[in-house]
Amino acid sequence: MTSAPAPERPTVLVADDEPDIRELARVLLEMDGFDVVGEAVDGEHAVEQYVELDPPPVPNVVLLDNRMPRLGGLDAAERILQHHPGQIVVLFSAHLDPAVTTRARELGVRACVSKVDTAKLPRILRDLLDG
């Protein structure tokens, strides 16, 4: 009797200019069964990482800080979503206001999560993936 193959772990690309926040997100996600397949220090690096991961393992989720040097999260999301309109992108920021969340929705970003809710990230991402 052979056992069924283990289900694939969902994959995430994490972009944040703060190393401590990237590490915290990575640890929380990996403890909950996600694979962090890339980390980026700014929006341009996130787009570069994303393109390098395509074809698979294209990440299931791209997690972007909004305020980053060189290219912010909304601009990075726009570029990624032009490349793959169905990509799940989550804006993860300490600076969410109605203008940011409205623009994110217009671009196709699936969720905006405050950094205050960091501990909820794994559940939020799973809900999006199941969704």
Taking a C-beta distance cutoff of 8 angstroms, is the pair 112, 96 a contact? yes
Q: Is residue 5 part of a domain?
A: no
> Average model confidence (pLDDT) for the chain?
93
Taking a C-beta distance cutoff of 8 angstroms, is the pair 122, 29 a contact? yes
Taking a C-beta distance cutoff of 8 angstroms, is the pair 97, 84 a contact? no
Q: How does residue 1 score in pLDDT terms, banded at 50, 70 and 90? A: low
C-alpha of 72 from chain center: 13
Q: How does residue 2 score in pLDDT terms, banded at 50, 70 and 90? A: low
Q: Is residue 50 part of a domain?
A: yes
Q: Is residue 64 part of a domain?
A: yes
Task: Classify residue 88 by burial, with Cβ atoms within 10 Å: 0-12, 13-18, 19+.
Answer: buried
User: What pTM was computed for the model?
Assistant: 0.93
- 62: its two tokens: 């791209």
Residue indicated by tokens 């940011």: 100
Q: How does residue 32 score in pLDDT terms, banded at 50, 70 and 90? A: very high
The CATH number of the domain holding residue 67 is: 3.40.50.2300
Which residues span the domain enclosing 46? 11-130
Q: Is residue 3 part of a domain?
A: no
Mean pLDDT over residues 15-43, rounded? 97
Q: Which pLDDT value is given to residue 33? A: 97
Q: Is residue 70 part of a domain?
A: yes
pLDDT tens track for 51-104: 999 877 789 999 999 999 999 999 999 999 998 999 999 999 998 999 999 999
| Secondary structure element (H or E) that encloses residue 49, with its range | helix 43-52
Classify residue 70 as left (phi > 0), alpha (psi -120 to 50) or beta. Answer: left
Q: Which pLDDT value is given to residue 7? A: 57
Q: Is residue 60 part of a domain?
A: yes
- Sign for the CA dihedral angle at 91, 78, 66, 32 comes to positive
Q: Which pLDDT value is given to residue 3? A: 53
Percent pLDDT > 90 in the chain is: 87
- Give me Rg for the CA atoms of the chain: 14
Task: Please count the structural domains in the chain.
Answer: 1
